[in-house]
Structure 1
């Protein structure tokens, strides 16, 4: 074994304290790193090179193509895509009264590339279904309301009814009351009738169908007597003289049917039931993306050509803030919970 010289041993003894101090400093630094709070992720840029979005955005609709929700979604998608500089592609995921599409979006990455057309159905479903695969309040980030569409109380032409007063009188005088059709149990069309029933205390028998089209077919044929149908569906039949419009469910009259009174002015102040549509993203979507989407959505809804197209669909644009949409949806959940409970409506 080679012996260490006295000079080397002396040098090592002099350096040991410094070496130990360096080790201690490194240990302290490592411990501080381990216990330091995690750095916050940098918010995504929404302007400039490399900003969101860098690829097409998917807009999920919880219904099949062709319905009011789909038509409105496609109109907004085209215009929103033009403003974002990337296509907004509609993805129809129908099923379980829009729950299939809602659950898909609720479980999607909150990166701004998957959006959802949140509707009145999602607030009704909160109490209509015993268990949902998503939470309509906690699992979505509201972006803004899009539009509202009123329903119309229509009757078969052979029914001796021309006003709400006539409708009430007929229902009271008939031993069987009066029948009203809907597009399905728990739909906004169904619950419009149930809310009217709650306020009038009438004997009204609900007849559910699998969709609005077969319900209207039987209404035209006289198998059922009345219906609180969505305006776009009922309007052609009213204008063609095949159905009689008794009242509209919005707070104001529709410019498309200026002679048809509202339910509110027909003796039921405060009655205001409309189908509505909003834009939402998965919860925890970065605030800059939500704010950019809201800004562009408001611009789209204020565009003259969009407002004109909405008027043709009997829809009223509802530009606003994410906070306004959140408050509105929360109030709707409570409102429909009471109606669902009173009506005994169950999911089909």
Structure 2
């Protein structure tokens, strides 16, 4: 009996130093950072801006790989199935939580199949109208929607996009009936707005800022809890009669579940250091975002809360599961 206990103790003793040694030597080769959208887009730009600085801290290249399709689900599936050794990471966005709420089945579990590393940035959406619109404020728009339910239309990047769910949450919280018109991406919804096909759109700042600066669009509201520094005179949705309204997209770093804690902590420190670099912060700000890191636990809570929120919106709006 004593010999068996001794053998078990020795086995455990040898396992711990091996694991410790592995984490201590990390990283000793390039790290792949997957993002689930087209090259050159916001997610790609965020991954590259942060990845370059992380590679300087970690001493190994962080190679960004676009694996677009299914709203980021393909890249998330790849990372969820990867070996949890810190060499395969995911640049997740707000669409990660939306997908968890919208899809009937996914090849992964939104929260439990990942170890969160750190958030990177948050950015709001803008409620924009054509410069010639009769709506001067969000209050004007809500009054029209109350007078004629279901006639005020809004365009988004598509059914199940964060923009779509932001509009549905606005309709629910303001107790208004709106007409959703989905398009294939923000560019298409913007074209529709400029052409007078919809009353307003919900879109990220990068999609509309050039037309705002050109005087072709007017912004009625910002979706976040505070005013956006890029348009400091534009009030939030919450300021205009919908208290508690808060929709922001985000980007953050995830690893496969089971990644050693020491490696997660090392990656977390590398993200924090990257976000302290002025050029990185400016790049994120230029995309409409606010650089903000977190602990792994804080990010897990945030993603879990986002998933719960969007599940409620999908159920309340009776959006068909995909």
Q: Same fold (TM over 0.5)?
A: yes
In the alignment, structure 1 residue 128 sits paired with structure 2 residue 90? no
- Counterpart CA distance in 2 for 1:332 and 1:153 is 21
Aligned to 2:230: 256
Aligned to 1:42: 19
How many residue pairs end up in the alignment? Answer: 319
In the alignment, structure 1 residue 244 sits paired with structure 2 residue 221? no
SS at match of 2:288: coil
Verify the 8 A CA contact 1:127 1:340 in the aligned structure 2. yes
- Counterpart CA distance in 2 for 1:44 and 1:279 is 24
- Structure 1 residue 152 displacement after superposition: 0.3
Q: TM-score, normalised by structure 1?
A: 0.86
State how 1:41-190 maps to structure 2 within 5 Å: 41-44=18-21, 51-174=25-148, 176-190=150-164
Deviation digits for residues 278-320 of structure 1 (CA, Å, limit 9, x no counterpart): 1000000111110000011111112222222222211001111
Aligned to 1:290: 264
SS at match of 1:148: strand
Deviation digits for residues 157-206 of structure 1 (CA, Å, limit 9, x no counterpart): 23200111111122233465211111111111111100100011222111
Verify the 8 A CA contact 2:23 2:260 in the aligned structure 1. no
Verify the 8 A CA contact 2:89 2:255 in the aligned structure 1. yes
SS at match of 1:207: strand
Deviation digits for residues 312-341 of structure 1 (CA, Å, limit 9, x no counterpart): 211001111001001111111111110011
SS at match of 2:141: helix
- Structure 1 residue 46 displacement after superposition: 5.3
Deviation digits for residues 243-279 of structure 1 (CA, Å, limit 9, x no counterpart): 1100001111111111111111112222110011110
Q: TM-score, normalised by structure 2?
A: 0.93
SS at match of 1:42: helix
Verify the 8 A CA contact 2:158 2:164 in the aligned structure 1. yes
- Structure 1 residue 59 displacement after superposition: 0.4
Verify the 8 A CA contact 1:43 1:286 in the aligned structure 2. no
- Counterpart CA distance in 1 for 2:33 and 2:321 is 25
Aligned to 2:279: 305
- Counterpart CA distance in 2 for 1:158 and 1:176 is 21
- Counterpart CA distance in 2 for 1:231 and 1:79 is 25
Aligned to 1:235: 209
In the alignment, structure 1 residue 343 sits paired with structure 2 residue 320? no
Verify the 8 A CA contact 1:186 1:346 in the aligned structure 2. no
Verify the 8 A CA contact 1:249 1:271 in the aligned structure 2. yes
Report which of the two structures shows the higher radius of gyration computed on alpha carbons.
1
Change (3 A) 1:299 1:256: same
- Counterpart CA distance in 1 for 2:287 and 2:268 is 23
Stretches of structure 2 that go unaligned for 5 or more consecutive residues are: none
2:295 is aligned, of 295, 312, 321, to: 321
- Counterpart CA distance in 1 for 2:306 and 2:243 is 18
SS at match of 1:109: coil
SS at match of 2:180: strand
SS at match of 1:69: helix
Q: Which moved more, 1:302-311 or 1:323-332?
A: 302-311
Verify the 8 A CA contact 2:32 2:64 in the aligned structure 1. yes
